[in-house]
Amino acid sequence: MKFGTTEQILDEIIARAGKQIVLAIPMGIGKPNRLVNALYRRVKNDKSLSLKIFTALSLERPVAHSELEQRFLAPIVERVFGDYPDLDYLKDSRAGTLPSNISVYEFFHKTGDYLGNSPAQQHFIYSNYSHAARDMLIQGVNVLMQTIAVDDSAGSLAPAPRYSWSCNPDVSLDMLALQKTCNAAPILTIAAVNRKLPFMPNDAEVAPDFFDLLLDDETTTHDLFAPPNMKVDAQDYAISLWASALVPDGGTLQIGIGSLGDGISQALIVRDQRNAEYQKILADLQAGSGNTLPANSDTGRFKRGLYGCSEMFVNGFLWLIRAGIVRIEVYDDVLLQGLVREGLIEKRVTAQGLRALLESGRIHATLTEADVEFLKRFGFFCDEVRWVDGQLFVADETLPPTLSDADMFERICAHCLGTELGGGYLMHGGFFLGPRDFYQALRNMPKAELQRINMTRIHYINELLGHEELARLQRRNARFINTTMMVTLLGAAISDGLDSGQMVSGVGGQYNFVAMGHALPDARSILLMRAWRIKNGKVSSNIVWNYGHVTIPRHLRDIVVTEYGIADLRGQADDEVIKRLLAITDSRFQDDLLKVAKVNGKIDSAYQIPPQQRNNFPTMIEAVLRDGKQNGLLPDYPFGTDFTEDELVIARALARMKRLLEHPFELLGALFRLAIGQSVAKGKDHQRYLERMGMTEAHTLKDKLLRALFVRNL
């Protein structure tokens, strides 16, 4: 392992990799931004060099698109993102000014950010998340850069600092494992220490001498990209409440980031902690929409809890862990996990549990050194037990390691047994991204609790092959919950792209989880979708007849959830699929969709949508959830917000103004009312909001109209 300055490392990269650098950097916050920027500038200024960057989810500080947005955003960005350095290649890519000797390839875009950007669209690599490492190797990656965490809390007492892949063991571990098995060309591995990254143990921990080059100086530590929690509105909560009833007690959970991920987490917490009120909301949703919960729904409290297995470890999972809902531990040993699943081994260590291990063949009648290590690792033996020259030593006792003799078995149990099963994980994750308090919570988490979270390879989480037996034992009653943009009336899902070929985001792990939902016998794939959307003032249905791009083909259709209910499509004929999806379609679009289905002969010409399913309107959802919103069950920001109270008021005002700008005739009416003096009732104190927006003074007609319109919408 070599230490050096940034410039020394750049020299070493060119010396070892040559002048054609093919760089892999992880998705999200795992990128060492300043080191990447330094390499980018070096290549940009030296045309004898070339650089190809392969990555995903490149993140930048929010950028305002208008003067009003800038007034609002600037203080928030400074407060929330601190000294997070934007990526130079990202700025140039957005501006269309990437130099000719540099190209950027991504397999997942930040949602919607690259629509209309021809170079980014042309260099998109359409890969499943679990194939990303393979596909980067195909492209000839010769340099891997990643930011890592360090734990040097022991100071001089520790032989060396401990290092961790932290937020992104996902693709990096996959790539380096594949590189060895495929005998690919060597990859120069470079790590940059960011001391603000939480140190994650277990599979994410890496030996100090693992990296070819390691940089740890004042340039490598900076604030993490921390997207604030999004508002969870009534539409999101309705979807989340329906979905929460599909999660069985004792099962496995996968969810994503954003308002729907937060909404599901909050709905599960309400289900567990305030079940009577939860049941009432569900009953009201069913009465309002005319739809019912499937027969196999589970709406009770969590007596056994859940296990989390998700490519993305999101803030919602942290809150579910705090609430004691995600609490089922799994073990990375097939025989042990099987015995736990069968109930032959419980959390409390007992002689019966030790005997079950013996009878299963997991340990030998005469214990070996490896057996003792296994028993200590998982808590069957206490830490004081030592193996010396073929004997067990504990306290002042020396015991032969013989379990076949009944008396010796009892003596070993009396002196060696631990108290509680250990070494289990209640959460497997591939990468994480979240708000500031999420990172802080991980940094502050006691080591014993952190030890129960295992950040690991994405291939382990998103696939079954290679570890199928263990995965089947761990992922019982799995519910893989993902979001989609649109669904066709025959059950195909459009989650990542447009029919023009433009990519909105990427498939990520969605296909993997959908496939697992079908491969595991007791699992389900659940796709969440808002039934309608509004763009440029026009309301459209997200359930459509067909579409020219598909992420999940209709032969993999399973469960679709909108704010109006649940459509269980598994094993159903096409006409029944249409009926079930129409039942959860916004009622403004039901008739047109039914008409198209009839014209194409996919449903009986005499079929009519039942009257009780004709009330699927946003006003119904708002009315049903009003009490829950008001009494704190369904808050706008269930897990807190980085916005101040004044900023929330201003944000709502700006949202109203944006809607006016999307409706020219309404805007003209508002401006006319302002012109004749019907702006705001006198006596209201809006001074502090005007001060926050820098709008206390207005000299031009435009500024005066904007200020008056702003005040009117407060």
CATH number at residue 33: 3.40.1080.10
Q: Name which residue leads in pLDDT, 158 or 316.
A: 316
Is 362 inside a domain boundary? yes
Same domain assignment for residues 311 and 371: no
Residue 665 has pLDDT above 70, yes or no: no
Using DSSP, how many helices (H) and how many strands (E) does the chain show?
27, 25
Same domain assignment for residues 7 and 136: yes
Q: Could you read off the pLDDT of 525-547 as tens digits, one per residue? A: 999 999 999 988 899 999 999 99
Is 634 inside a domain boundary? no
Work out the number of other CB atoms within 10 angstroms of the CB of residue 387: 18
Same domain assignment for residues 239 and 310: yes
What is the structure's pLDDT at 183?
A: 76
Same domain assignment for residues 173 and 268: no
Residue 595 neighbours by CB under 8 Å, 6+ apart: none
Question: Among 391, 416, 441, where does a domain finish?
Answer: 416
Split at pLDDT 50, 70, 90, the class of 520 is very high
Is 629 inside a domain boundary? no
Residue 683 has pLDDT above 60, yes or no: no
Same domain assignment for residues 454 and 569: yes
Secondary structure string (H, E, C) spanning 388-422: ECCEEEECCEEECCECCCHHHHHHHHHHHECCECC
Residue 176 has pLDDT above 60, yes or no: yes
Instruction: Report, as an integer, the average pLDDT of 608-629.
Output: 96
Place of tokens 């021809």: 118
What is the structure's pLDDT at 661?
A: 66
The two tokens of residue 678 are 């019907």
What proportion of the chain, given as a percentage, has pLDDT over 70? 96
Model confidence, pTM: 0.94
Split at pLDDT 50, 70, 90, the class of 156 is low
Q: Name which residue leads in pLDDT, 653 or 46.
A: 46
Same domain assignment for residues 465 and 592: yes
Q: Could you read off the pLDDT of 256-270 as tens digits, one per residue? A: 999 999 999 999 999
Is 185 inside a domain boundary? yes
259-273 vs 315-322: helix axis angle to the nearest 10?
A: 10
Is 227 inside a domain boundary? no
Residue 388 neighbours by CB under 8 Å, 6+ apart: none
Q: Could you read off the pLDDT of 55-94 as tens digits, one per residue? A: 999 999 998 888 888 989 999 999 999 999 999 999 999 8
510-541 as b/e: b if 16+ CB within 10 A: bbbbbbbbeebeebbbbbbbbbbeeeeeeeeb
**Cα–Cα distance between 561 and 573 in angstroms, integer?**
18
Single-letter residue type at 349: V
Same domain assignment for residues 523 and 604: yes
What proportion of the chain, given as a percentage, has pLDDT over 90? 83
Same domain assignment for residues 394 and 450: no
Same domain assignment for residues 589 and 693: no
DSSP structure class, residue 503: B
Question: Among 384, 416, 448, where does a domain finish?
Answer: 416
* Mean pLDDT value across the chain: 93
Is 465 inside a domain boundary? yes
Residue 667 has pLDDT above 70, yes or no: no
Nearest Cα residue to 381 out of 344, 354, 410: 354
Instruction: Report, as an integer, the average pLDDT of 585-611.
Output: 98
Residue 694, domain extent = 645-712
Same domain assignment for residues 697 and 653: yes
**Cα–Cα distance between 574 and 554 in angstroms, integer?**
10
Residue 492 is part of a domain; what is its CATH number?
3.40.1080.20
Q: Could you read off the pLDDT of 178-225 as tens digits, one per residue? A: 888 887 788 999 999 999 999 999 999 999 889 999 999 999 999 999
Question: Among 184, 215, 246, where does a domain finish?
Answer: 215
Is 438 inside a domain boundary? yes
Is 586 inside a domain boundary? yes
Residue 395 has pLDDT above 80, yes or no: yes
Q: Could you read off the pLDDT of 92-130 as tens digits, one per residue? A: 998 889 999 999 999 999 999 999 999 999 999 999 999
**Cα–Cα distance between 174 and 151 in angstroms, integer?**
24
What is the structure's pLDDT at 679?
A: 46
For the chain, how many structural domains are there in total?
4
DSSP structure class, residue 167: T
308 phi/psi in degrees, rounded to 5: -100, 125
Same domain assignment for residues 456 and 432: yes
Single-letter residue type at 514: V
Same domain assignment for residues 150 and 296: no
Split at pLDDT 50, 70, 90, the class of 698 is confident
